[in-house]
């Protein structure tokens, strides 16, 4: 089995949402212990649920219709309603394969969920989360990212949106379709910006502070956050950001997006001048066509000879169109528009083990050092011996499988995260804080004796403080990724407290955690998040010097 390169990251990603969500409860359930609570919004009153100190509002519409003649366009105006609208069930997710415990996917998917301690005008910090799943799957109702514990335990307001994904969210038609379709290659991102505006206009009614909003997200949600950080339309509505295991340094150039559109039209036997026929193609057929194309990863590698990796055409994600997304989020520099907005960025230490689990890759766990070099050669060519030699010298006690995981993990998510941190420091504006999540799960990758460690996506349940002992005193259940050791509860609390404090103040801090210095280019401090946290200066220094030498950073 060949290594997963950064360019191929999402080709094996489709199970993540179903897998992680399966460990939670249904977002559609109303329990006998729930009481109802009402809030007034700009478009009408809504009724949510109050349970165990948290009010939850599900399926709130924040934009109008995006189907029919609104396909590939900005939403129709949201129509006010009379009376009280139920906000008790999550709204439909964007077009994708069906999701467990959620309504059937729909083109009209502009709904959001809110968790708040109380609707009492307290002006709490607002944590606006963008879900993962690349740009093609996922929703704001995934159980691992349930916001109740963050709201309950840390006195914040949590908001999550559904928004257009895939072909329906990112098909670039600007050069064919005229002014009504301006920004078509970024409709999914514009949906999120519309959700941020809804927060600005309404969140005070939910006990949140519209002047203190943090955007954050993991994997594809990290890449979406990277784009929002560079988008003029989003800029007025947030104050700080966190990019987690999804460093969106670069997005799709518009010439590549135009080629993808041309290829799609050809596959559908539609002449460019007849592009309007796309409005009549059933969404299910568009989803089937989308499935034939490669996914766009939440990062794109820089090629030292060409400046931009030229991937195979195909796939749908945010487009650097010069208007909605004026330039690559962090290339060549950090975006000036967010110069004064503090930033968190980082990744999980063992990102690759998720993909080994998902792909049923047991062979990596059998590698010796000779096999390690051979496994790296298809991706790194003549640099493979230098990579192995550097990692062996820097980690003399590590096994060949452990080095393969380390190499794969840092190239997937780490190098881009460091690139973002360095560019933010060079900008000379608000601080940036670099982290590694390192709590080690003891769960084994099936078919091996190799532990999951800190796989991709394990951070979701930890940072949402959903790794906690049961409140009723019953025996805790094993976490889907996190295992069964009680130390995970401390790691989860640290992670959640650091993030909620950052949301509140712009500086991450937590009890029983060392002071977290802002990143700088001299000591390069990195916070390692675990049951016991530590600040490590110039972490991976030898390895990063090598990656710079071979042009990967």
What is the SS3 string spanning 156-183? CEEEEECCCCHHHHHCCCHHHHCHHHCC
Please report which helix (H) or strand (E) contains residue 490, including its range. helix 487-505
pLDDT of the residue at 297 = 66
Share above pLDDT 90 across residues of the chain, in percent, rounded to a whole number: 87
pLDDT digits (tens, 9 = 90+) for 216-241: 999 999 999 999 999 999 999 999 99
Would you list the DSSP string of 118-157? -SSS--EEEEEEE--STTTS--TT-GGG--HHHHHHH--E
Contact (Cβ atoms closer than 8 angstroms) between residue 218 and residue 351? no
Region 302-330 average pLDDT? 72
Nearest to 125 by CA among 158, 99, 166, 153: 158
- The CA radius of gyration of the chain, in Å to the nearest whole number, is 22
Q: Where are the domains of the chain?
A: 6-252+327-341, 350-415+431-489+521-549
Q: What is the pLDDT of residues 540-549, one digit of tens each?
A: 999 999 999 9
DSSP structure class, residue 95: S
- pLDDT at residue 459 tops 50: yes
Count other C-beta atoms under 10 Å from residue 204's C-beta: 18
Distance CA 122, CA 205 (A): 10
What are 242-275's pLDDT values in tens digits?
999 999 999 999 999 999 999 999 999 999 999 9
Strands 157-161 and 111-116 come out as antiparallel
Q: Please count the residues of the chain.
A: 553
Distance CA 469, CA 145 (A): 17
- Range from 18-27, 158-167, 283-292 carrying the lowest mean pLDDT: 18-27
Distance of CA 333 to the CA centre of its chain: 21
Catalytic residue numbers read 219, 351, 456
Distance CA 282, CA 299 (A): 30
Residue with tokens 């190499």: 407
Share of the chain above pLDDT 70, in %: 90
- Average pLDDT of the chain, as a whole number: 92
Instruction: Choose among 153, 331, 362: nearest CA to 253.
Output: 331
Of 259, 265, 256, nearest to 328 by C-alpha is 256
Is 60 exceeded by the pLDDT of residue 109? yes
Q: Which fold has domain 6-252+327-341?
A: Rossmann fold (3.40.50)
What pLDDT is stored for residue 196 in this prediction?
98
Q: How far is 165 from 132, CA to CA, in rounded Å? A: 11
- Give which of 248, 247, 156, 235 is closest to 193, Cα–Cα: 235
């Amino acid at each position: 089995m060949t290594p997963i390169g950064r360019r191929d990251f999402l080709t094996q990603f489709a199970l993540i949402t179903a897998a992680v969500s399966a460990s939670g409860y249904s977002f559609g359930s109303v329990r006998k212990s729930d009481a109802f609570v009402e809030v007034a919004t700009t478009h009408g009153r809504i009724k949510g649920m109050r349970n165990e100190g948290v009010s939850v509002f599900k399926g709130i519409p924040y934009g109008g219709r995006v189907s029919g003649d609104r396909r590939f366009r900005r939403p129709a105006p949201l129509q006010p309603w009379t009376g009280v609208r139920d906000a008790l069930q999550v709204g439909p997710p964007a077009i994708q394969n069906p999701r467990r415990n959620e309504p059937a996917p729909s083109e009209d998917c502009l709904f959001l969920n809110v968790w708040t301690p109380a609707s009492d005008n307290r002006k709490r910090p607002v944590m606006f989360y963008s879900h993962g799943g690349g740009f093609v799957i996922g929703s704001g109702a995934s159980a691992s990212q349930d916001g109740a514990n963050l709201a309950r335990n840390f006195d914040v307001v949590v908001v999550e949106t559904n928004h257009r994904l895939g072909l329906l969210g990112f098909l670039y038609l600007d050069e064919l379709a005229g002014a009504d379709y301006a920004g078509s290659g970024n409709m999914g991102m514009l949906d999120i910006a519309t959700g941020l505006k809804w927060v600005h206009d309404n969140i005070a009614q939910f006990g949140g502070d519209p002047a203190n909003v943090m955007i954050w997200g993991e994997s594809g949600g990290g890449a979406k956050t990277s784009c929002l950080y560079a988008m003029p339309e989003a800029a007025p509505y947030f104050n700080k950001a966190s990019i987690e295991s999804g460093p969106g340094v670069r997005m799709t150039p518009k010439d590549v997006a135009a080629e993808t559109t041309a290829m799609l039209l050809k596959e559908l036997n539609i002449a460019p001048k007849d592009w309007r026929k796309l409005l009549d193609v059933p969404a299910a057929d568009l989803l089937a066509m989308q499935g034939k194309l490669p996914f766009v990863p939440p990062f794109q590698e820089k090629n030292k000879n060409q400046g931009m990796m030229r991937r195979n055409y195909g796939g749908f994600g945010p487009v650097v169109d010069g208007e909605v997304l004026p330039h690559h989020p962090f290339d060549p520099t950090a975006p000036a528009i967010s110069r004064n907005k503090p930033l968190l960025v980082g990744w999980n230490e063992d990102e690759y083990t998720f993909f080994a689990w998902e792909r049923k890759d047991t062979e990596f766990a059998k590698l010796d050092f000779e096999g390690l070099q051979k496994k790296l050669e298809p991706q790194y060519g003549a640099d493979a011996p230098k990579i192995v030699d550097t990692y062996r010298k820097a980690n003399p006690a590590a096994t060949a499988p452990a080095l393969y995981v380390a190499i794969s993990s840092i190239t997937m998510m780490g190098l881009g995260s460091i690139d973002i941190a360095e560019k933010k420091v060079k900008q000379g504006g608000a601080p940036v804080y670099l982290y590694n999540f390192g709590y080690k799960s003891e769960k084994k990758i099936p078919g091996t004796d190799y532990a999951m460690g800190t796989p991709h996506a394990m951070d979701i349940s930890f940072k949402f403080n959903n790794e906690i002992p049961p409140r009723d005193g019953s025996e805790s259940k094993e976490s889907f990724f996190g295992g069964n050791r009680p130390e995970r509860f401390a790691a989860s609390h640290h992670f959640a407290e650091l993030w909620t404090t950052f949301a509140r103040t712009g500086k991450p801090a937590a009890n029983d955690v060392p002071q977290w210095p802002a990143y700088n280019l001299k000591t390069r401090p990195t916070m390692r998040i675990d049951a016991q946290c530590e600040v490590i200066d110039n972490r991976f220094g030898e390895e990063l010097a090598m990656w710079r030498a071979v042009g990967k950073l």
